[in-house]
């Protein structure tokens, strides 16, 4: 008998994926987003800000969302913005509003050990947004285009064997990052293989459970 | 739309609850066991050893299992035994065999921060039993008949509002502990109320996720 | 022979309670403040800022302090202010000045694991204020009007059985929070009961010791 | 006004110091024991076992206790014994009995990060002995005759400026360890100086608070 | 200019690798051992015990050591033995003696978060052996033939690109484990690739620094 | 045979020491800097900002660098500046540029547990600067002119017996801090003695390894 699926848990509901910037969601949980979307679940992929090249990167994010099957959103839309230009209470306010509107059954966001200041800020603001309503909360692996070893202790795994390629395709849609700047993202296939072996599947994305509630 | 249930995740499969001694499972996850059993899921409640008054305590454990609706098991059956009389590899061997037979989709056991030496030993042996096959692994709150504050950081909650009373009834079935020795177990109702408020329900049992795998 | 009291330790000296906003002190350590004040100890309850409805919330804080028997203080007085509008060194400066003036034997403040950004900021600034002089430093439980589970590992407990009701009365004095917004604060009675049972009393507030010095 | 003293807290009551072997208590908290005893507090210094040279080392321990002013006790008395020859439940039983008899207001013992297996075992057994009754519980610094760096995070400090010399004298009473084997114990003076500077006194012993209860 | 090599640090000295059982050293640090040996450094690969099939597994260990270029040692030699049959002080005694004889400049052993009870025991005994003399101490990744996810936070990396194949060859020499039992060890190549990418090389083994001393 | 030296590892390369303000580097790693410089290694000692008395403190820093033999640098040069006046991405940008220019084989900076907000900010920005290139990364002890106990768990030690006096001389060069304000810095000699005893030398500076890579 197969392992119960992530999709089964959220069928008929909304899952909210949050990334500080374009490509974070794809690097961290692109396979999971594609898996949920393929099962007919509404997945909102919300990018907090686009720090540079707004038009180009927004277009890439839109293309990537089309590949994954998610509903893209840019919270600080309309032009280049930096998360640090917001006060924390403003960022919490933005996420509160998003949660009120999307009513997510689960939220997937950055984790507290990430080395990027904006990522950690977004994590803490998402934790605070739990005041608005109850939702399952998961953190994903530190995301980076150039490797910096930081600790991450996953305890949840999603089998993305069927969407591994789609994840890489969605990452590749961010051409301005991975082609112009010559960055390799094969790392994410290697990481998914190691995580997959840990739980007996070909490829897996690893998550850390912040809170999960069972009725 | 209600939160997806713990039972929904394990329907048609077996859940294995492990406690070092009689009454541990009831104190830690009695409500969850009752909830799963009520949904028709096979729950094996395995006690590793009975350290004293074998006949009496085995009978109490059997009565408690009848209340919860679980399938009781005593691993070191036939007489009083102490977990410390086993080598660790022997305990791991016992749990390996149990896992091979029960093929659990999830295992719920003691956690690593418990203050009772046997509880911690059982936790580590259960972690090792993951070599045999993949299963979801959860730790439950340190269980005690007399309070000793030790840290426990839950990140999963099961709504036991509908089985709160059954949990207390199952604990009370261990008459030799809670009546002869005059111990109070109302603490566990108070704790469930606090955990419940944390996630917006009347009563909840708190767990720590060691590993959960989603297909 | 009874357990030595918190008041006995600080008799004839000043204890300083710090909260980021109105009602934080009451939720976290209202019972302890009342207990100390009842023993004739000078307790300064310092609120860093009032983020909204300055007149109303200041009045409520004053009323609450009258109930607890403390000497209320608003650090950023005169109007609505946000802690984030201060630089960290400015906040440390404010607390340095307060410590220089009040010469506290003990300071009780927020803890580092709180989910509210301002609370964590106040905690770190208080740690830094130890440069000014030696004082015992304790952190209190994450305070919230709507529950968000975050870890907190207490190791000190104050028996507030005699001031439990006064604590709730002081919380209730913040009518704009708990009546207009329909928030429940019975959670804090439940939490005190669980903490009390841990140490054999009816109700207790839990603290984490940051530093305690014995002559 | 001076900092409230450790002795003031325990006046008229019993403090129990536990060490796995002879000289552990002196290395870890000899200054504190001397300070409490000098204030007229009954201090029981309990050694769990003497692993070698029973007569010699018992005599040294007795001499050391005379210097500190404590009431010495050897739990596994009558000959050389090893803690590992006890099952954990037997060790817990020994400590339970000691606690029942001494009725300590505070217990000071080894900490969980010590590198010596017996020390850690004694720590965990002492934690479990809290089932018997409520007492303040403190851990002391890893003790060693030859240095092995292991983490220890103190949060309580006792000013031992007045008993620093007595502490070294008590350590020196263990002649078979520190003279025959040529071991230096000046390290403990250096460590006390560093800890003292941290809290503004000449010499201090550092402790970690496991539990402290205030009435 | 290339990164300074691990071998450069230990040239003309002895490095001691410790594994609880045959194949642990190969899985954890086979590439590092081969790298050091290739540079002319004496590497002692010490296996604590062979729990089953003594003749067969000893022969395999010898063959593997020949591949890596190390000097093999079985501490509990002469027949099948279990680490749990030793008391901790006996194991520490064994390692003390080994350290006295080999006089290692560095020791590489299991880490404290490993899920195998014997591995953790060996780790703690090695920490204690630092009493004998000063040496650099490193822990290696949890080793397993069937995956069990446990946390491990490396902070040191050894570039094993030149010995990756030799590592796998040495693992494969343990035919009774990896061929008869059909176990896959390709996981270790995948893991080395992920660790390598983290530090900009093809393949790396990850270590956690327990202690490193620089003159 | 002597322990391999820190200098041996970085011969012919550049080591970068980063401190938030003047005197941080001296307090934390003055002995190590002097040791490396004495071995002919280029050491860049980079101060991020001078918060007050720019001319005076810059001159002191220059004098101190002359004593240590390092190449001083002030990142926010030309006048008094506060680190908090930079956005995090600006600070990361500054450090990125420094790393690109200095091409350090190792970077030594503040650690994450420091109580000074600026120190922690500098630590995190340095971690992020690893995106630019690979370098060994070490954190040093929390630095303070007035003691505040905060946890720090070192695992690397540098023998500074030969440069202990030079370290104190360099600290003393910051006359405006340690003479005008009457601050004692003998604490740092005491601390080095305790750390030295831990690893069998007269004086040592303690570091925490964030990342070290061996070829």
Q: What is the mean pLDDT of residues A198-205?
A: 96
Looking at residue B206, its pLDDT comes to: 98
- For residue B211, list chain A residues with Cβ-Cβ distance below 8 A: 155-157, 199
E193/A190 Cβ within 8 A: yes
Q: Across all residues in chain D, what is the average pLDDT?
A: 95
**pTM exceeding the 0.90 threshold for the entire prediction:** yes
Residue (of E99, E109, E47) closest to E78 by Cα position: E47
E215/F6 Cβ within 8 A: yes
pLDDT confidence band for E181 (50 / 70 / 90): low
Q: Across all residues in chain E, what is the average pLDDT?
A: 95
pLDDT at B184 over 70: yes
A149/F211 Cβ within 8 A: yes
Q: What phi-psi label fits residue F79: left (phi over 0), alpha (psi between -120 and 50 degrees) or beta? A: left
Say yes or no: B21 contacts chain D, CB-CB below 8 A.
Answer: no
D148/E130 Cβ within 8 A: yes
Q: What is the mean pLDDT of residues F81-102?
A: 97
Report whether D33 contacts D70 (CB < 8 A). yes
Gap between the Cα atoms of C157 and C140, Å rounded: 10
The per-residue pLDDT for range C131-158, each reduced to its tens digit, is 999 999 999 999 998 889 999 999 999 9
The per-residue pLDDT for range A13-64, each reduced to its tens digit, is 999 999 999 999 999 999 999 999 999 999 999 999 999 999 999 999 999 9
Q: Which residues contact D147 (CB under 8 A, 6 or more apart)?
A: D187, F197, F198, F199, F200
Considering Cα of E110, then E113, then E115, then E117, what sign does the dihedral take?
positive
Q: What is the mean pLDDT of residues E125-132?
A: 97
Looking at residue D178, its pLDDT comes to: 85
Q: Across all residues in chain C, what is the average pLDDT?
A: 95
Looking at residue F178, its pLDDT comes to: 85
C154/B149 Cβ within 8 A: yes
Looking at residue E185, its pLDDT comes to: 83
Q: What is the mean pLDDT of residues F59-79?
A: 98
C215 vs E180 pLDDT, higher one? C215
Q: Which residues contact C116 (CB under 8 A, 6 or more apart)?
A: A128, C20, C110, C142, C143, C144
Looking at residue B182, its pLDDT comes to: 61
CA angle B65, B66, B70 (to 5 degrees): 50
Looking at residue D4, its pLDDT comes to: 81
Question: What torsion, rounded to 10 degrees, do the Cα atoms A152, A157, A162, A168 define?
Answer: -10
How distant is the Cα of F107 from the closest Cα of chain E, in angstroms?
14
pLDDT confidence band for A189 (50 / 70 / 90): very high
Q: Which residue of B has its CA nearest to C153?
A: B151
Say yes or no: A209 contacts chain B, CB-CB below 8 A.
Answer: yes
pLDDT at F99 over 70: yes
Q: Which residues contact B188 (CB under 8 A, 6 or more apart)?
A: B27, B167, B168, B171
Class of residue C186 by CB neighbours under 10 A (exposed 0-12, middle 13-18, buried 19+): exposed
Looking at residue F96, its pLDDT comes to: 98
F5/E211 Cβ within 8 A: no
Looking at residue A179, its pLDDT comes to: 74
Cβ contact F–B (≥3 pairs, < 8 Å): no
Say yes or no: B89 contacts chain E, CB-CB below 8 A.
Answer: yes
Cβ contact C–E (≥3 pairs, < 8 Å): no
- For residue E151, list chain A residues with Cβ-Cβ distance below 8 A: 153
Report whether B19 contacts B25 (CB < 8 A). yes
DSSP conformation letters of A84-138: GGS-HHHHHHHHHHHHHHH--SEEEEE-TT-SSHHHHHHHHHHHHGGGTS--EEE
Bridge partners for B19 per DSSP: B47
User: SS3 for B166-181, per residue?
Assistant: HHHHHHHCCHHHHCCC
pLDDT confidence band for B82 (50 / 70 / 90): very high
Phi, psi dihedral angles at D47 (to 5 degrees): -95, 130
pLDDT confidence band for E86 (50 / 70 / 90): very high
Q: What is the mean pLDDT of residues F158-180?
A: 93
pLDDT at A2 over 70: no
Listed range (A79-88, B180-189, E52-61) with the worst mean pLDDT: B180-189
pLDDT at B76 over 80: yes
CB count in 10 Å sphere of residue B63? 16
Q: Across all residues in chain A, what is the average pLDDT?
A: 95
pLDDT at B208 over 90: yes
Looking at residue A130, its pLDDT comes to: 97
pLDDT at B58 over 60: yes
User: SS3 for F102-125, per residue?
Assistant: HCCCEEEEECCCCCCHHHHHHHHH
Q: Which residue of C has its CA nearest to A212?
A: C149
pLDDT confidence band for D182 (50 / 70 / 90): low
Gap between the Cα atoms of F211 and F135, Å rounded: 8
Q: Report residue A166 as tokens.
A: 């789609």
The per-residue pLDDT for range A95-143, each reduced to its tens digit, is 999 999 999 999 999 999 999 999 999 999 999 999 999 999 999 999 9
- For residue F151, list chain D residues with Cβ-Cβ distance below 8 A: 153
Listed range (B34-48, C131-145, C166-180) with the worst mean pLDDT: C166-180
Q: Which residue of E has its CA nearest to F158?
A: E214
Give the DSSP H/E element, type plus range, for residue C20: none
Gap between the Cα atoms of B85 and B88, Å rounded: 9
Listed range (A206-215, D76-85, F175-184) with the worst mean pLDDT: F175-184
Gap between the Cα atoms of B21 and B24, Å rounded: 6
E154/A154 Cβ within 8 A: no
Half-sphere CA count of D69, side-chain side, radius 13 A: 16
Say yes or no: E115 contacts chain B, CB-CB below 8 A.
Answer: yes
pLDDT at E51 over 70: yes
The per-residue pLDDT for range C38-49, each reduced to its tens digit, is 999 999 999 999
DSSP conformation letters of B64-89: HHHHHT-EEEESSTTS---GGGS-HH
The per-residue pLDDT for range D118-167, each reduced to its tens digit, is 999 999 999 999 999 999 999 999 999 888 999 999 999 999 999 999 99
The per-residue pLDDT for range E3-41, each reduced to its tens digit, is 789 999 999 999 999 999 999 999 999 999 999 999 999
Looking at residue C185, its pLDDT comes to: 83
Cβ contact D–A (≥3 pairs, < 8 Å): no
Give the C-alpha distances (Å, rounded to integers) separating F168 from A67, D110, F104, F114.
62, 35, 26, 21
Structure letter (DSSP) for residue C208: E
pLDDT at F2 over 90: no
Q: Which residues contact A179 (CB under 8 A, 6 or more apart)?
A: A172
Looking at residue C186, its pLDDT comes to: 87
Q: Which residues contact F215 (CB under 8 A, 6 or more apart)?
A: E2, E3, E4, E5, E6, E159
- For residue A149, list chain F residues with Cβ-Cβ distance below 8 A: 211
Say yes or no: F149 contacts chain C, CB-CB below 8 A.
Answer: yes
**Cross-chain CB nearest to B214 (options A12, A157, A214):** A157
Looking at residue E182, its pLDDT comes to: 60
Q: Which residue of A has its CA nearest to B158?
A: A214
Looking at residue E130, its pLDDT comes to: 97
- For residue C85, list chain A residues with Cβ-Cβ distance below 8 A: 87
Q: Report residue C56 as tokens.
A: 């109303």
Bridge partners for E19 per DSSP: E47
Q: What chains are in contact with A, requiring at least 3 Cβ pairs below 8 Å?
A: B, C, E, F
Looking at residue E30, its pLDDT comes to: 98
C197/B147 Cβ within 8 A: yes
B165 vs B181 pLDDT, higher one? B165
């Amino acid at each position: 008998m197969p392992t119960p699926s992530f999709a089964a848990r959220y069928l008929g509901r909304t899952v909210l994926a949050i990334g500080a910037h374009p490509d974070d969601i794809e690097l961290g949980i692109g396979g999971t987003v594609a898996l949920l979307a393929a099962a007919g679940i509404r997945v909102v992929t919300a990018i907090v800000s686009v720090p540079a090249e707004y038009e180009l990167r927004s277009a890439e994010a839109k293309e990537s969302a089309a590949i994954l099957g998610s509903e893209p959103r840019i919270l600080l839309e309309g032009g280049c913005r930096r998360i640090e230009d917001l006060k924390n209470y403003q960022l919490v306010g933005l996420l509160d509003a998003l949660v009120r509107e999307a009513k997510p059954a689960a939220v997937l966001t950055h984790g507290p050990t990430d080395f990027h200041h904006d990522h950690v800020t977004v994590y803490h603001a998402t934790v605070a947004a739990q005041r608005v309503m109850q939702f399952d909360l998961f953190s994903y692996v530190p995301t980076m285009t150039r490797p910096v070893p930081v600790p991450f202790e996953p305890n949840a795994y999603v089998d993305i064997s069927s969407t591994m390629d789609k994840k890489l395709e969605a990452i590749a849609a961010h051409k301005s990052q991975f082609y112009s700047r010559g960055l390799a993202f094969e790392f994410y296939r290697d990481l998914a293989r190691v995580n997959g072996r840990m739980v007996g599947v070909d490829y897996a994305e690893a998550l850390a459970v912040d809170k999960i509630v069972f009725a």
